[in-house]
Structure 1
Amino acid sequence: MKLLVVSTNAAQTMGGEAMKALQYMQQLLADGRDATLITHERCRDALAGELPADRVIYVRDSAMMKTCWRTPGLARFVNGFFHVEVARICRGFDPAQVVIHYLCPISPVEQRFPPKGYRYVIGPLSGNIFYPQGFQHLAEKSLRLQQRIYRPLQKALGLVSRQFVRADTVLVSGYVRTREALGWAGCPEARMRDVWDAGLSDDLFARPRVCPAENPAHFVWIGRMVPYKGADLAIRALSQAPQEARLTLYGDGPQRAALEALVRDLGLSERVTFAGWLAHEDLSQELGQYRALLFPSLKEANGIIVQECMAIGLPVVPLRWGGPLGLATDEEALFVEAHDPAQVVRDLAAAIVELTQQPERAEALSKAARIKAEAAFPWAQVAQSWYAAALAAHDAHDQGAKRSAGG
C-alpha cells in the first residue's frame, strides 16, 4: 500500500500542524512505509534536507488560488482550491494501490474534495474549540460569528459534502467537542476513532527527567504572543506570587509591546524576562531549568508543548479547558479552572505559590507526567495508530475486490 499524506503545510518552522506533518512523514519512512507527502510549494525550502526529494509532491498556486490570495476577504478559500489540486494529483495514482490521508488542517469544517473511487482517512481532527464563557469578550467579531453559526454551518455542509460519510475512518483528537461537530456534519459514529493529536520524538525521552524540586522557583511560558495564549494572565498571576518567583516568556507576536508595558506597570521588570523565540531543538535543554510551565491558553485545540513538557518531566499548569484537559489527569498536571480572568489569575498565583513552597508537589507531577508521556506519546506509537486506519481501509478494499472477483 502507498500512503499519500496531504497537509497544507509541513516544516519545523511553520507551527505545530506543519511540524506534525513533517514528523509523521519522517516516522513513516523510518518504519519502512511507502509514503509520499503532498504539500504546498511554499514548504519546499523548509523541507530541504528533511525528507527525500522523491517523497514530496509540491502543489503550486493555481490561478484560482492566486486570485484568492490577491482579493481581500477570499484568502480563506485558498485551502479549498489547494484540495482541488490535490485531488487532481491523486488521480494519477492507481486507486487500488493507494490510500489518501488528509492530515492537516485539523478543522472539521475544512472541505477536502477527495477523488471518487479512492480510499481515504481524515484527521486527527481537533476543531470546535472556542473561548470559555468568561472570556468571550476577547474573541474578535469574526470568531464570535463563527461560534454562532458553527453548528448550522456544519449541518449545512453535511448536506452538501459527503466527505465524512465516504471516509473510511475519521481520526479524532478533540474528544467530545470534535465528535459533536463531526456528528453535526453527518459523520457516522462508527467511522470515528480516537487517537492522540501528535507524537513526540525519541530525543525528548532520551534525556533524564527534569527534577523540578532542584530548580529555583522560576516559571516559564512559551507561545505566540496573542491574546488567547494568556501570557497576560501569567504575568498578572506572578504579581500576586512570592517575590522569589520569576517568569520567563519565550516567543513573540503582536501582543509583545502590550505585555512589556504590563510588566512595567506592575513593577515586575526585575522578575520577568522576555527571551524571544526558542528553537525547537533547544526546547528540552532550556525548559529543564524551570520549576513549571504556566499554560493558561484559552482555546488550545491540543497543546503539543504540554506533551513535550510532560515528556521531559516539567510540571504543567494548564487551564481545565480545551486540548490539555485530554492530555493529562490531575495527577499529571496542576489544572486551573477557566471561569473568568480574575479567578484564573488568582488560581494561577495559588499554583505558583504551591509549587514554590512545595517542591515535592512539583516532583510528584513531574514523575507522573513522564510516565504518562512515555506510555502514550512516542511518535512510533502515535504514527502506528494513524497508519493502522489507512491500512485497514486498504485491506477492506482488497477484501471487497476479492469477493467481487470470486462472485
Structure 2
Amino acid sequence: MPPERAAQTGKPRVLAIAEAANPEWVSVPLVGWSLAQALREVADVHLVTQIRNRDAVLRAGLVEGQGFTAIDSEAFAAPLWSLAEKLRMGEGKGWTMVQAINALSYPWFERLVWKTFGADIRAGTYDIVHRITPLSPTISSSLAGKCAKAGVPFVLGPLNGGVPWPAGFDAERRREKEWLSYLRSAYKLLPGRGATLRHASAILAGSRHTAGEVPERYQHKVVYLPENGIDPARFARRADPAPGALRACFVGRLVPYKGPDMLLEAAADLLRSGQMTLDVIGDGPMMPQLQAMAADLPGVTFHGWMAHRDVQQVMAQSHILSFPSIREFGGGVVLEAMALGVTPLIVDYAGPGELVQDGLGFKVPCGTREEIVRRFRVELQRLAADPAALASTGVATRQRIESHFTWSRKAEQVRAVYDWIRSGQPGNPPAFFL
C-alpha cells in the first residue's frame, strides 16, 4: 500500500504473517484467518500465508498480490507433514509430535517470507510486522531479529499451548500418543527462542500459562489476549431450549482428554430418570465405547461430525454446554456456547477455566477422573432442578462475548497494542482482561 494512503487513513500498515490462515477450516487456521481479516477494520493489512490456503483465501474474496500473498514452502513442508502423520501414529493424536515437526519446516517458510518482503520491510513500507500463526510458543522466528535491525516493530502472537497434563491422567496422555509432551519444556533451551522474545516489541499470550512461561526480563511487553474470537455472522443464533428437562450438549473430538466418557458417567442417573437429555456433537476413536455406554441411557443423541457452521443449530437447543475436558488451550467451543447464550459447565483448568468467570457459567475443580465425575454429577443434578434459571446466565455470557470476544473487539485490542508500540511503549502494556 502506498505510504500516502496510510497517512490519509491514519491506519498502521501491517504485514500480517499467518502461515495457517484458512476461512474454510477450523482451529488454528480459522484463528489465523479471522484475526487477520478483523485487523483490516483497524489497519491496512497485507496477509502472508502458506500456499495450501491460497484457493480458500481467493474464494473468500481477497485479491492475490493486493490483499494477500501465498508463499510456496511445500518443498519442505509437504514431506515433513507426511512424516508427522506417520509418527503421530493415529488420526488426530500426537499433537506435540506435529508441533515438533512443524518447528523443523517453519523456518523455511519465514526465510521465503523475508526473501519476498525483506526489501519492503527495510524500506519502511510497513509500520508493523505481526506474526499471528503459528500459535505454538515453541516455534521461534528469525523475522523478529531482522525486523528489529530494520527498525520495524515485530509483534508475536497470540501464543498458546503446552498446558501440562493434570496429575492422574497419564493413561489418557499415553492414549493420545503424547510421548513428546514429557520433554516439551526443553523447547525453552532451543536456539532462537531467546532472540525471538528479545527482539519482539510485544508478545501476545493466549493464556495465563503461556504468559507465565515468558522469562521475567520480557514480562514488560507481554499482553494477555486469548486467541479465540467469535464471528457474529457465523454464530448468530440465540439459545432457545425447550422447557422441561435439562438439555445439555457436548461438542468436540471424542478422545479421552475431552472427557465424553466422564460426562456420560456423571449424567447417567439424570438421563435414566428423564431429567436430562444430551446431544453429543463430534466424532473420534471413542465413538464405539461411548455408544456402548449409552446403550441403556435414554435421551442421548450422537450427531457425529458436523460442519462448523451447523453446530450452532444443535447447541442453541441446549441449556448448557457440558464439557469436562481436562486439557484445552484456548477453549473456542466454550466461547461459541457463550455467544449463543448457552451456559458452560467446565473443568476449572487451562483455557476454559480462564474464560468462564463468575456469573458466566459453572466450574468444577480439576482432580482425578473419579473426582471430576463426582463433581460434574453434583452440578448437573443442581442445574437439572431448575433449568429455566439458566436464562439469566445466558444473557450475561452473550454480553461478555460482545464486549470482549467478537473478532471486531479483538482487532480493537490488537490495535491498542500497535498504538502502544508506536508511541514508544510508555508505561505498562494494554490490559483487556483484568
TM-score (norm. length: structure 2): 0.81
Describe the SS at the equivalent of 1:193: strand
Seq. identity, %: 24
Specify the code of the residue in structure 1 equivalent to 2:336.
Answer: E
Cα distance change of structure 1 residues 28 and 354 upon mapping to structure 2, 3 Å threshold? same
Q: Which shows bigger deviation, 388-397 or 39-48?
A: 388-397
* Aligned partner of 2:213 among 181, 204, 225: 181
Describe the SS at the equivalent of 2:253: coil
Q: In the TM superposition, what is the alpha-carbon distance from 1:335 to its structure 2 partner?
A: 0.7
Describe the SS at the equivalent of 2:60: coil
Cα distance change of structure 1 residues 110 and 187 upon mapping to structure 2, 3 Å threshold? farther
Give the structure 2 partner of residue 80 of structure 1.
107
Cα distance change of structure 1 residues 355 and 70 upon mapping to structure 2, 3 Å threshold? closer
Give the structure 1 partner of residue 29 of structure 2.
18
Q: In the TM superposition, what is the alpha-carbon distance from 1:131 to its structure 2 partner?
A: 1.9
Query: Could you give the per-residue CA deviations for residues 40-69 of structure 1, whole angstroms, max 9, x where no partner exists?
Result: 111123323214123121121353334434
Describe the SS at the equivalent of 2:223: strand
Query: Could you give the per-residue CA deviations for residues 366-385 of structure 1, whole angstroms, max 9, x where no partner exists?
Result: 23222222221122111111
Please list, as runs of the form range in 1=range in 2, the aligned pairs for 1:128-207 lying within 5 A after superposition.
128-140=162-174, 146-154=180-188, 156-157=189-190, 161-175=194-208, 177-183=209-215, 188-203=218-233, 207=237
Give the structure 1 partner of residue 58 of structure 2.
48
- Asked whether the equivalents of residues 9 and 21 of structure 1 are also in contact (C-alpha less than 8 Å), the reply is yes
Q: Which shows bigger deviation, 224-233 or 294-303?
A: 224-233
Cα distance change of structure 1 residues 190 and 248 upon mapping to structure 2, 3 Å threshold? same
Describe the SS at the equivalent of 2:360: coil
Matched, 1:248 2:279: yes
* Aligned partner of 1:57 among 65, 69, 72: 69
* Aligned partner of 2:363 among 335, 350, 365: 335
Tell me how many residue pairs correspond in the alignment: 388
Give the structure 2 partner of residue 305 of structure 1.
333
- Asked whether the equivalents of residues 215 and 290 of structure 1 are also in contact (C-alpha less than 8 Å), the reply is no
* Aligned partner of 2:402 among 374, 379, 382: 374
Give the structure 2 partner of residue 214 of structure 1.
243
Give the structure 1 partner of residue 259 of structure 2.
230
- Alignment partners' CA distance in 2, 1:15 and 1:187: 35
- Structure 2: tracts of 5 or more residues without a match: 1-11, 88-99, 426-434
Describe the SS at the equivalent of 2:345: strand
- Asked whether the equivalents of residues 216 and 291 of structure 1 are also in contact (C-alpha less than 8 Å), the reply is no
Give the structure 2 partner of residue 91 of structure 1.
118
Q: In the TM superposition, what is the alpha-carbon distance from 1:202 to its structure 2 partner?
A: 2.8
- Asked whether the equivalents of residues 138 and 227 of structure 1 are also in contact (C-alpha less than 8 Å), the reply is yes
Cα distance change of structure 1 residues 85 and 367 upon mapping to structure 2, 3 Å threshold? same
Cα distance change of structure 1 residues 279 and 65 upon mapping to structure 2, 3 Å threshold? closer
- Asked whether the equivalents of residues 129 and 153 of structure 2 are also in contact (C-alpha less than 8 Å), the reply is yes
Query: Could you give the per-residue CA deviations for residues 335-358 of structure 1, whole angstroms, max 9, x where no partner exists?
Result: 122201111112222222222112
Q: In the TM superposition, what is the alpha-carbon distance from 1:293 to its structure 2 partner?
A: 0.7
Give the structure 2 partner of residue 113 of structure 1.
142
- Structure 1: tracts of 5 or more residues without a match: 398-407
Describe the SS at the equivalent of 2:294: helix
Query: Could you give the per-residue CA deviations for residues 220-268 of structure 1, whole angstroms, max 9, x where no partner exists?
Result: 111122222222222222213242112111112233233223333xx22
- Alignment partners' CA distance in 2, 1:18 and 1:136: 29
* Aligned partner of 1:35 among 45, 52, 66: 45
Specify the code of the residue in structure 2 equivalent to 1:279.
Answer: A
Describe the SS at the equivalent of 1:335: strand
Cα distance change of structure 1 residues 159 and 88 upon mapping to structure 2, 3 Å threshold? closer
Specify the code of the residue in structure 1 equivalent to 2:229.
Answer: G
